[in-house]
Amino acid sequence: MKKTILFCSLITVPLTLMFLGAWAHQEHRSIPYRDPSLSIEQRVKDLLGRLTLQEKISLLGGTGFATRPIPRLGIPELRMSDGPLGVRWDRSTAFPAGTAMAASWDTSLICKVGRAIGQELRGKGRHVILGPCVNIARIPMGGRDFESYGEDPYLASRMAVGYIEGVQSEGAAATVKHFAANNQEYERGFVDVQVDHRTLNEIYLPTFKAAIQEAKALCVMSAYNKVNGHFCSENDYLLKSKLKDDWKFDGLVMSDWGAVHSTIPTANGALDLEMPTGEFLNDSTLSGAVKSGVVKEETINDKVRRILRVMFELGLFDKPQLEPDTALINTPDHRQIAYQAAIEGITLLRNRRNILPLNLNTTKSIAVIGPNAAIARTTGGGSAMVQPIYSISPLEALQKKLGGKVKINYVDGVRLGEDFKALDAALMFLPDKGVNGLAAEYFDNAKLSGGPRVSKQDSTINFDWTGSAPVPGVPADHFSVRWTTRLKAPATGDYFLEVASDDGARLYFDGKMVVDNWSNHPVTVNSVKVHLIKEKFYKIKLEYYQDTGGAIARLGLRPAEDDSFKKAIEAAKRSDVAVVFAGTSFEYETEGKDREDLVLPVNQDALIEAVAKANKNTVVVLITGSPVIMNDWINKVDGVVQAWFGGDEAGNAIGDVLLGRYNPSGKLPMTFPVRWEDCSAYNSYKKQDSVSVYSDGIFVGYRWFDKHDIKPLFPFGYGLSYTTFSYSDMAAKPVGDSYEVAFKVKNTGKVEGVEVPQLYIHDPDKAIVSPVKELKRFDRISLQPGETKEVRFVLTKSDFAHYDADKEAWVTHPGPYDISVGSSSRDTKLQCTITVE
């Protein structure tokens, strides 16, 4: 009997569980917002009706990098991660800078990059990538130019659409930023950009429009700055009239971190989510306003509706994707995509005497020189900076590819500011003991106030805690640290004590403050010259705080005298070829500040000149995010390669181009000027405190150079190849309501190559102010030696339109338009005319 009962019980239990499961599933589906068979709008409507006013308001402010969950209704976090050049959540694949990707002019490749980033985002258990950045490069020194896609709205639009489609094909959300006219870091938090509506709509908004209407971006981030007197986060023209009314955007509009400045204007405006927290949009500031009618509850409902809509679009109520999946991070496929993006963006600017590719039959030794040779400069600084899982420097790549067949003579020559080794642990001793180390006090606030949360011993100061807590019990943001130690001088002489920090740092040497940089800033290096006597001990105290974002603290020591420059020249003299890897780094091109000028930092111009004098076979490889001036040496070297910030595979990509394993095909996404004074923003940038008047109007980048007949150093769209191309047989004809332009391109050289034919239009009607050329189409075609391909572009009437500010509408005037095609904005090979009816 007992056996029978037991047997029955074993059957009854699973049957009961099956019944309960089926009942629960049916009950689950009976709640409309949990029923995946219903439309997203039906589910959003049902869930919105179940929220209390307090719960709705709680969704309007973030919790750092997420929205606030509501467990009562099973509403999860919407988790975000910085981008756009990879997932900045711990270590991930570092993809090339936006300018490098734009230099490829390869939209299908950018879609692959987006898809890989979408996969890695899911692999981190995140849902929203804070990218792409699509702001136009108006100022060549702009701190965040490297993140974006250059100076032309059409090229930037094509890149952005490809990126977003790739990200969102993986069930992740892209965030197009920063809306709008965020074209400088100087005074970015409050500068008033004064720009006319035609310029705004023709230059600074088209990429956002394409991102919304073509790529269906799910999220938009508003900018820090003002536009025509109103902060972007409460700017009705941008967020309501353009974004939500004209473009019919139904997704989520979030603020940049800390870019909200008011409660009622913001709440009544079109911003939906305040990040990183609800400082202005919270229950205490809004509940009363809603109950009194100052803010309508339907206005709150619309914001919440958009947040929920994105969650449903991503399937967070059905497949939350909350747990990390490391199998999706830095896969072989992702590394290959990163390599392809890096190599396709490399742009050959000069190749006299066909010095490139390097001839290994005659080259037995190479001098590898420069501050960017032995260090992988993957990207610029700030929120776009990804910590790679793997990276390879140009020097390391060349060593591996040459395998000892060619002697490499490496000397850096000069070092960039942040390139110092952490202070040797063997030289530091605890304050009251004869053992090595530093006494470290970690505080759970940014003010070193109260007692330390954690006291421990550190061996050195060489930390990058970005995105993670420094020690258990201390938060990842808003913390501070105090280190004390005794430095034992290694030898008598003059030295530089160097501190790199993001954010604040104060350094004390023998009780005296010698570095005071106690403010929020991107990674910055400060140094002080000190005289040390061998074996003597010196008291060191370093205080550091981090607010939000980057969290970097380093302390170094180096001799004041350095003979590296001299050794570099000696290496050049005894080598067959000299390759100088020059450029900038994340310290110089970074969020939070613009470069002061376009000059290569730390005496690199003099280094290049000296190397070129010592070796007639000199090639310069520039690793930067945007243009630099080359006047001192451009005519003294035979080869110049613009390699950009190329991500974690940059070294391999550069090596393959130099050695002829890949024929470079990159084209500049921005004009390289001879001097800053030639640029469109020169007469307005930093001319008025807190105001930036866009007096250049629609004439930005190559449009300005064309209008004023200024010769650039290298024009927009320019890039050489190891082969040559010819253009012929241009013809244009109407096809229905459109116009077809056809022509042929032939590879006239001896090696396979890729050409990027570009089509520009011009309205010759003098009654309408228009650029000499405007990019409207491009293609990317691969040709074998001697091969010819026909290229066909189709133009629509909208391609000939300009924005009429009086009518607040796009207008196409009938009449003739000049059409030109060629290999750059200044090298147009063929011309014809199209008459628009």
Q: Catalytic amino acids?
A: 256
User: What does the DSSP assignment read for 3-68?
Assistant: HHHHHHHHHHHHHHHHHHHHHHHHHHHHSGGG-TTS-HHHHHHHHHHH--HHHHHHTTB-BSSBPP
What span, in angstroms and rounded, lies between the C-alpha atoms of 552 and 544?
Answer: 9
3-state secondary structure of 327: helix
Count helices and strands (H / E) in the chain: 18, 39
Nearest residue to 31 (alpha-carbon basis) of 18, 42, 41: 42
Dihedral angle sign, alpha carbons of residues 414, 419, 425, 431: positive
Q: How many CB atoms lie within 10 A of CB 30?
A: 9
Q: How many CB atoms lie within 10 A of CB 579?
A: 29
Beta-sheet pairing, 537-546 with 479-488: antiparallel
Give, as one character, the DSSP assignment of residue 185.
Answer: S
Q: How many CB atoms lie within 10 A of CB 326?
A: 8
What span, in angstroms and rounded, lies between the C-alpha atoms of 511 and 509?
Answer: 5
What span, in angstroms and rounded, lies between the C-alpha atoms of 413 and 235?
Answer: 50
Q: Is the peptide bond before 180 cis (omega within 30 degrees of 0)?
A: yes
What span, in angstroms and rounded, lies between the C-alpha atoms of 587 and 416?
Answer: 9
Where helices occur in 175-325 by DSSP H, the ranges are 197-199, 206-213, 236, 264-268, 283-292, 297-313
Structure tokens at 144: 């965040």
Q: How many CB atoms lie within 10 A of CB 729?
A: 12
Q: In the beta sheet, which residues pair with residue 545?
A: 480, 504
Q: In the beta sheet, which residues pair with residue 327?
A: none
List C-alpha distances in Å: 183 to 176, 178, 448, 691, 742.
15, 9, 35, 13, 36
Which string of b and e fits 48-71 if b means at least 16 CB within 10 Å? beebeeebbbbbbbbeebbbbebe
Instruction: Say how many residues make up the chain.
Output: 837
Asked if 520 and 504 touch (Cβ cutoff 8 Å), the reply is yes
What span, in angstroms and rounded, lies between the C-alpha atoms of 722 and 347?
Answer: 11
Give, as one character, the DSSP assignment of residue 545.
Answer: E
Asked if 518 and 506 touch (Cβ cutoff 8 Å), the reply is yes
Asked if 101 and 114 touch (Cβ cutoff 8 Å), the reply is no
665: left (phi over 0), alpha (psi -120 to 50) or beta: alpha
> Helix 153-168 crosses helix 206-213 at what angle (to 10 degrees)?
30
**Element spanning 102, H or E:** helix 98-104
Asked if 777 and 739 touch (Cβ cutoff 8 Å), the reply is no
Nearest residue to 674 (alpha-carbon basis) of 662, 683, 682, 666: 682
3-state secondary structure of 377: coil
What span, in angstroms and rounded, lies between the C-alpha atoms of 691 and 193?
Answer: 6
Structure tokens at 613: 């004098």
Q: In the beta sheet, which residues pair with residue 590?
A: 381, 593
What span, in angstroms and rounded, lies between the C-alpha atoms of 695 and 679?
Answer: 12
Structure tokens at 77: 């976090």
